[in-house]
Amino acid sequence: MASPTTTADAAIPQAKGADDNYLTHDKGFASWAFTLDHKRIGVMYLASVLTAFALGGFFALAVRTELWSPGKTIMEHDTYNQMFTLHGAIMVFLVIIPGIPAALGNIILPLQLGAKDVAFPKLNLASYYLWVIGCLCMLTSLVTNAVDTGWTFYAPYSTTTQTNVIPAAFGAFILGFSSIFTGLNFIVTIHKLRPPGMTFFRMPLFVWALYSTALIQVLATPVIGITLLMMMVERVFGLGIFDPSLGGDPVLFQHFFWFYSHPAVYIMIVPAFGVISEIIPVFSRKRLFGYQFIAISSLAIAFLGFLVWGHHMFTSGQSVLAGTIFSAITFLIAIPTAIKIFNWVSTMYKGRIHLDTPMLYALAFLWVFTIGGLTGVFLAVMGVDIHLHDTYFVVAHFHYVMMGGAITAFLGGLHYWFPKAFGKMYNERTGRLGAIIVFVGLNLTFFPQFILGSRGMPRRYYNYLPEFQGLHQLSTIGAFTLGIGFLLTAVSLARALKSGKKAPNNPWGSVTLEWTTVSPPPYYNFHTPPPVTAGPYDGYEDLVYDDKIGGYVAKKA
Amino acid sequence: MSEPSTATEGATKASAPPPAAHDHDHGHDDHGHGDAHHEDAIHAANPHLAHHFDTPQQQFDAGKLGIWLFLLTEVLFFAGLFCAYTVYRSMHPEVFVYAHYFLDTKLGALNTCVLLISSLTAAWAVRNAQLAEKGKLMLNIVITIGCACTFMCVKYVEYSHKYHDGLLPGHNFQPKEQIWELDSFRHKHPEAAEYAEKLAKLDEKKNEKAPAAGAAAAKGEEHEEKMERPTEEELEPLIAAGLVGPRSLDPSAHISRPRMAHVFFGIYFFMTGLHGFHVLIGIGVWVWMLLKAMKGQFGPNYFGPIDFTALYWHLVDLIWIYLFPLLYLIH
Amino acid sequence: MTLNLLALAEPQLPKLAPSDSFWLPVDASITSRNIDWVWEFMIWMSVLTALAIFVAMFHFVTKYKAKSRAANEIAEKSSEHNTALEITWSVLPLFVVIALFVWGFKGYVDLRTPPKDAMELHANAQKWKWTFDYKCPTGGYTDDTLHVPIDRPVRMLISSVDVLHALYIPSFRTKMDAVPGRYTDLWFQATKAGDFPIFCAEYCGTSHSDMLSHVVVHPSGEYEKWLDATCKAADSEVGAPRGAKLFEKQGCSTCHTVDGTPKIGPTWKGLFGKSESLAGGATVKVDENYLRESMMDPTAKVVNGFAPSMPTYKGKLSDKDIDGLVEYIKTLK
């Protein structure tokens, strides 16, 4: 270094030796709490999101246990209402929205792009702390008089109920800013920190997916921010925008809410598309089929996602014309989604498929997402939606997409990148067993709910007609199966962290840039900035498996 | 800027060596190679260049894109409010006509001027930063902060008036003055104001009588007849001024404020309050910029923070430019 | 068909009539047929599409399974892009969804356009009770059960006094939100006589899942007889018996009990003549006037410890009704 005394130079981390990596580079609490390294921030997100997931899962099991029998099983009406509200709010705002982008994306995106960090590391850290503050706000509501409005905060119930709505809504408001800043950071990173040679159409599809997601995060989240703020002010000062008893319009709240929350569905699922697009070619040892179609379809979904919010409101009394337009555009979204599924399946054709844990999750994703997607078409058909709206059919549909789609992809991605992020291999057998139990539990939990819904069982019901009990019990058994699957997976990964085998640099034979650096990556990401001369899925044939290191290395010429 | 652009070329080579080249270590510990050395040299020459950027130009471009995206989210944030405003105004236009008389247009106009001046000095400050004119830069920032504080003081005066006059949102809405007692209304509709006052006094008398009505029922009949009822002609100025709707031609019409008048003040306090909050944040950021400017940090290679703050400030200004006519100048 | 009206007056869970469809509840309105065949089409289309995808997936996984990593197998050469194929599988689903859109649109317009000659009934939603208003020659009659004639279009005008609710009749395949501050509507024409459940489908708080009711579809000619008999009975009854009926029909029982346990509001048992302490700190003796005021302006004097959540019954109770309720409360010692 020419002059190591200047401030910026001091910020340039220096390699401390062969074993130096981002996990060991600095030690101590402060080195984590004030880190600006994207990988460390990603790891903190990951730990926090998984903790929130455990909490949300606990509420889910409580809800399912209560539904074992009609009437009171273990809790009262009001407790049940609080439980399902907290389950929804935690899973949506604290887990699925930040899950893939903020946790996996933070660790992987700059590596995959060949960048040294995200564009604004301080903002990145601020996003994380906003998440923490948002989480604390939600917990405040939880331990005082937990919110019971449903995660949708529909007015005028939310402006009049006696429970502690404000901390929960304020938490969601803060989490919105966390999400906006993450999205902003990724957009700028992708535009401005691509190394030469990394053109847009050489970017891996995970980056494409996060780019589309980030656009939605930046363009949609401010609207829910202002909506929740108005709702809170209405509750405190009696503003009169939403509450009809003060002269407001409750349907306006729904418009505002879904203007964000429908695109938010794509914030949750599009990153999952990215993960699946990474896993399938690697484990099929074959280039992804229809790369450009998948890349563009992510953008198409992001764009169309803004124009369909009204399909949540076919029964709210909106005009027939509005309903018709929203329904038509909703159908259009089915097309890019179908394209993706066809392309993924085609990628496996004539491949050489390895059924490791990440691939099992990807196959599980294809299964559940096909069902989730097809049942979405039922809900887009207006006449049929009138019957299905606000029934368990909707609950089953969005759990197949959110839980079955986003969470399986998240777990698949976690297993795929785990060796890279932590430098340890997990036990393949417990990994696969976990994936299979999760898959079985998922279908057992949510498939009966389709039948419940189409037979007329409304959602958010504490009590139900005795005729529905059998299917409810099946669903509850499934939920506990799911719980066992997650627990097994958690134990498996925790053991790997503690005593896993050292991971090779490239265990799966991937060709994207994150696998060209060591595992775990050095503080500075790359000892040698990687050259980019080809597309993201080229060159599987140039790698050979080395039994000694248990991973792939470049074929000797 | 010639220097950064050549630097970009150098950095290009450093981060992506041609694939044909021998695979030497280009890492940063290695001092032997020109490319890596060049990048180090750029970092050494630019103390404010963060480690993950290759050139000042790249850092500036990233910041610029970032701030534009942030401003976009701000616009969308306020767009939600403007949307609510539009919906409410189309549902209850009479509320807006009624309530805007209570706002002080002169103070609003003063604030508009103050913000416009501050926008000018903010733009000027960017130029000063680019040219490394430390003194002028500090002066312009101080003027900008001064204007922002003036704006907040005027807002304070306006808010405290509203508070004293009971013009608060929701259940706290208890105006002390009737609309026809306001100068702004009298000035515009002198005839209507006069008539409204007369009518209101009649209403008052009626109310006073009501409790005693039982006792005075027999005597009262005469008085009842004397009480004037407004004719259609008499009501016309009131209708024109928006005090009563055309349906009030019903002869029992009396002057009252629109039922939902409090919502206007809800929207008023919410919109101006949120805007004021942004002004406060702006003051904080400008003070920070002033401290950085005092240290002489800005120059042709590093003026991004001033540029971005100024962009934010223009947006805050722009939002007020929309708020002012939408709230104060309603017809 | 004879309907036991007395049994219906008792609060009880509605029964789901057995359906010959696996997926859908029994269909009992003319509009549901339009919807049911689209549903059938979609089920089969979905099953076929999903099967095609799953079969392809499993076929590829078994056929192209790699032996081991060490074998270093390389995928066979195959095209990685095929525009014709991409366009085919973009356009084919497009045709399917256009067809679905058109059928869905038709079904929706049918559901949203009541015939001009439809009979009109009013449904009121409040936490957590449905009430339905019928026109009697001598005024109105309110019941917690919906009674409709068969084979006649009925338009329900829906309103809510507090928060959002939704009137949902699965057997008629129809649903509409009850939005406070405005009217919404739905219509149906029942094709089967019988008793079908009504649910509240929009979350509305504590007892959302107990906000159930029935729709009783009367066979041809029976509806008029029922209305006539009910109106006469409702009009002639006075005093405590009238109050006891209203206690159920007007939804008082949702929040008040007559057995001494407090619910969302104070119990009515032993209420009359008691001194209650109010939320503001004052006390009030429960007499006829206080009871009357509490029905007309419920939030004026709220008993300490209870939320001010009762809606006003101004305009919903006649003087005779109020007398009846007061007399009924007096009997609850």
Between the alpha carbon of residue C83 and those of residues A386, C78, C88, C89, the distances in Å are 38, 14, 8, 10
Tell me which residue has tokens 């990401």.
A525
Per-residue pLDDT at B15: 36
Name the residue with higher pLDDT: A378 or C83. Answer: A378
Question: B219 to chain A, minimum CA–CA distance in Å?
Answer: 42
Three-state secondary-structure class, residue C275: strand
List chain C residues with CB under 8 Å of A304: none
Give chain C's end-to-end CA distance (angstroms, integer).
41
- Mean pLDDT value of segment A489-518: 92
Judge contact between A115 and A196, C-beta under 8 A: no
Per-residue pLDDT at A3: 34
With contact defined as 3+ CB pairs under 8 Å, the chains touching C are: A
With contact defined as 3+ CB pairs under 8 Å, the chains touching A are: B, C
Tell me the average pLDDT of chain A.
Answer: 90
- Mean pLDDT value of segment C107-124: 90
Q: State what percent of residues in chain B have pLDDT above 90.
A: 34
Q: Residue A334: pLDDT above 90?
A: no
Paired with C185 in beta bridges are C157
For residue C236, what pLDDT band results from cuts at 50, 70 and 90? Answer: confident
Per-residue pLDDT at B214: 45
Least confident residue range of A228-237, A485-494, C42-51, C270-279: C270-279
- Closest partner residue to A528 (CB to CB) among B25, B169, B263 is B25
- Closest partner residue to B84 (CB to CB) among A184, A241, A533 is A241
Residues whose CB falls within 8 Å of the CB of residue A228, separated by 6 or more in sequence, listed in order: A153, A169, A170, A172, A173, A176
Distance separating alpha carbons of residues A428 and A357, to the nearest angstrom:
7
Three-state secondary-structure class, residue C193: coil
List chain C residues with CB under 8 Å of A351: 60, 64, 75
Distance separating alpha carbons of residues C133 and B170, to the nearest angstrom:
34
- Mean pLDDT value of segment A214-234: 91
Tokens, residue A68:
């074992």
Give the best residue of A387, A395, A428, A506 to mutate against chain C (max C CB count within 10 A).
A387
Question: A300 to chain B, minimum CA–CA distance in Å?
Answer: 20
Chains A and B touch, using 3 or more CB pairs below 8 Å: yes
- Closest partner residue to B61 (CB to CB) among A192, A225, A247 is A192
List chain C residues with CB under 8 Å of A509: 69
Burial class, C34, CB count within 10 angstroms (exposed 0-12 / middle 13-18 / buried 19+): buried
pLDDT tens digits along A161-183: 888 999 999 999 999 999 999 99
Distance separating alpha carbons of residues A363 and A369, to the nearest angstrom:
10
Contact: B76, A121; criterion CB under 8 Å: no
Distance separating alpha carbons of residues C295 and C246, to the nearest angstrom:
13
How many CA atoms, within 13 angstroms, populate the side-chain half-sphere of residue A264?
Answer: 28
Distance separating alpha carbons of residues A273 and A212, to the nearest angstrom:
11
Contact: B50, A11; criterion CB under 8 Å: yes
pLDDT tens digits along A261-300: 888 889 999 999 999 999 999 999 988 888 888 888 888 8
For residue A4, what pLDDT band results from cuts at 50, 70 and 90? Answer: very low
Tell me the average pLDDT of chain C.
Answer: 85
List chain A residues with CB under 8 Å of B92: 247
Tokens, residue C216:
């009783």
Per-residue pLDDT at C88: 85
Q: Residue A219: pLDDT above 70?
A: yes
Per-residue pLDDT at C241: 83
Question: A481 to chain B, minimum CA–CA distance in Å?
Answer: 42
Please name the amino acid found at residue B278: H
With contact defined as 3+ CB pairs under 8 Å, the chains touching B are: A
- Closest partner residue to C57 (CB to CB) among A160, A363, A540 is A363
Between the alpha carbon of residue C215 and those of residues A335, A456, C146, C169, the distances in Å are 41, 15, 5, 8
Per-residue pLDDT at B4: 39
- How many residues are present in chain C? 333
Burial class, B299, CB count within 10 angstroms (exposed 0-12 / middle 13-18 / buried 19+): middle
Per DSSP, C98 falls in state H
Contact: C108, A77; criterion CB under 8 Å: no
Among residues A167, A142, A171, A130, the alpha carbon closest in space to that of A44 is found at: A130
Backbone angles phi, psi at B228, to 5 degrees: -75, 145
Distance separating alpha carbons of residues A75 and A84, to the nearest angstrom:
12
Contact map slice: C 83-142 vs A, CB within 8 A:
85-86, 89-90, 93-94, 97-98, 100-101, 103-112
Q: Residue A352: pLDDT above 50?
A: yes
pLDDT tens digits along A444-468: 999 999 999 999 999 999 999 998 9
For residue C276, what pLDDT band results from cuts at 50, 70 and 90? Answer: confident
User: Is C311 in CB contact (< 8 Å) with chain A?
Assistant: no
Judge contact between A428 and A357, C-beta under 8 A: yes
Tokens, residue B319:
């939002």
List chain B residues with CB under 8 Å of A241: 84, 88, 263, 266-267
Q: Residue B185: pLDDT above 90?
A: no
Q: Residue B317: pLDDT above 50?
A: yes
Distance separating alpha carbons of residues A218 and A265, to the nearest angstrom:
14
Among residues A403, A413, A409, the alpha carbon closest in space to that of A482 is found at: A403
- Closest partner residue to C208 (CB to CB) among A160, A293, A461 is A461
Tokens, residue B146:
């001064």
Residues whose CB falls within 8 Å of the CB of residue A492, separated by 6 or more in sequence, listed in order: A426, A427, A430, A431, A434
- Closest partner residue to A195 (CB to CB) among B16, B19, B41 is B16
User: Is B81 in CB contact (< 8 Å) with chain A?
Assistant: yes
Per DSSP, A353 falls in state B
- Closest partner residue to C163 (CB to CB) among A156, A314, A366 is A156
Residue of C nearest to A371 (CA): C50
Distance separating alpha carbons of residues B254 and A91, to the nearest angstrom:
55
- Closest partner residue to A238 (CB to CB) among B50, B88, B171 is B171
Distance separating alpha carbons of residues A361 and A485, to the nearest angstrom:
12
List chain C residues with CB under 8 Å of A458: 168, 199-201, 209
Say what the alpha-carbon torsion angle C303, C307, C308, C309 is, to the nearest 10 degrees.
-130
Paired with C200 in beta bridges are C167
For residue A374, what pLDDT band results from cuts at 50, 70 and 90? Answer: very high
Per-residue pLDDT at B203: 62
Give the best residue of A226, A255, A318, A516 to mutate against chain B (max B CB count within 10 A).
A226
Question: C76 to chain A, minimum CA–CA distance in Å?
Answer: 6
The rounded Cα C325 to chain-centroid distance in angstroms is 27
List chain B residues with CB under 8 Å of A197: 16
Contact map slice: C 243-272 vs A, CB within 8 A:
none
Residue of A nearest to C180 (CA): A244
Give the best residue of A242, A374, A384, A471 to mutate against chain C (max C CB count within 10 A).
A384
Per-residue pLDDT at C8: 38
Contact: A239, B266; criterion CB under 8 Å: yes
> How many other CB atoms are there within 10 angstroms of residue A325's CB atom?
15
Judge contact between B158 and B107, C-beta under 8 A: yes
Per-residue pLDDT at C7: 39
User: Is C231 in CB contact (< 8 Å) with chain A?
Assistant: no
Question: B269 to chain A, minimum CA–CA distance in Å?
Answer: 10
Element (H, E) at C184: strand C184-189
Tokens, residue A490:
């958690």
Q: State what percent of residues in chain A have pLDDT above 90.
A: 62
Judge contact between C160 and C200, C-beta under 8 A: no
Question: C30 to chain A, minimum CA–CA distance in Å?
Answer: 13
- Closest partner residue to B62 (CB to CB) among A9, A119, A238 is A119
Contact: C89, A339; criterion CB under 8 Å: yes
Least confident residue range of A21-30, A465-474, B120-129: A21-30
Backbone angles phi, psi at A153, to 5 degrees: 55, 35
Contact: B72, A252; criterion CB under 8 Å: no
Per-residue pLDDT at C2: 38
Judge contact between C223 and A480, C-beta under 8 A: no
3-state secondary structure string across chain B: CHHHHHHHHHHHHHHCCCCCCCCCCCCCCCCCCHHHHHHHHHHHHCCCCCCCCCCHHHHHHHHHHHHHHHHHHHHHHHHHHHHHHHHHHHHCHHHHHHHHCCCCHHHHHHHHHHHHHHHHHHHHHHHHHHCCCHHHHHHHHHHHHHHHHHHHHHHHHHHHHHHHCCCCCHHHCCCCCCHHHCHHHHHHCHHHHHHHHHHHHHHHHHHHHHHHCCCCHHHHHHHHHHCCCCCHHHHHHHHHCCCCCHHHHCCCCCCCCCCCHHHHHHHHHHHHHHHHHHHHHHHHHHHHHHHHHHCCCCECCECHHHHHHHHHHHHHHHHHHHHHHHHHCCC
Instruction: Write the Ramachandran bin of C136: left for phi over 0, alpha for psi from -120 to 50, otherwise beta.
Output: beta
Residue of A nearest to C207 (CA): A77
Contact: A352, C39; criterion CB under 8 Å: no
List chain A residues with CB under 8 Å of C101: 327-328, 331, 380-381
CB burial readout B228-266, b (16+ within 10 A) else e: eebeeeebebbbebbbbeeebeeeebebebbebbbbbbb
Contact: A390, C75; criterion CB under 8 Å: no
Q: Residue B196: pLDDT above 60?
A: yes
- Closest partner residue to C75 (CB to CB) among A284, A323, A334 is A284
Q: Residue A324: pLDDT above 70?
A: yes
- Mean pLDDT value of segment B95-101: 79
User: Is B43 in CB contact (< 8 Å) with chain A?
Assistant: yes
Contact: A383, C69; criterion CB under 8 Å: no
Judge contact between B282 and B41, C-beta under 8 A: no
Q: What is the largest CA-CA distance in chain B?
A: 116
Judge contact between A15 and B27, C-beta under 8 A: yes
User: Is C312 in CB contact (< 8 Å) with chain A?
Assistant: no
Distance separating alpha carbons of residues A179 and B101, to the nearest angstrom:
41
Question: A142 to chain C, minimum CA–CA distance in Å?
Answer: 17
- Determine how β-strand C165-169 pairs with β-strand C174-178: antiparallel
| Sheet-wide strand order for C153-160 | C139-143, C129-136, C119-126, C153-160, C184-189
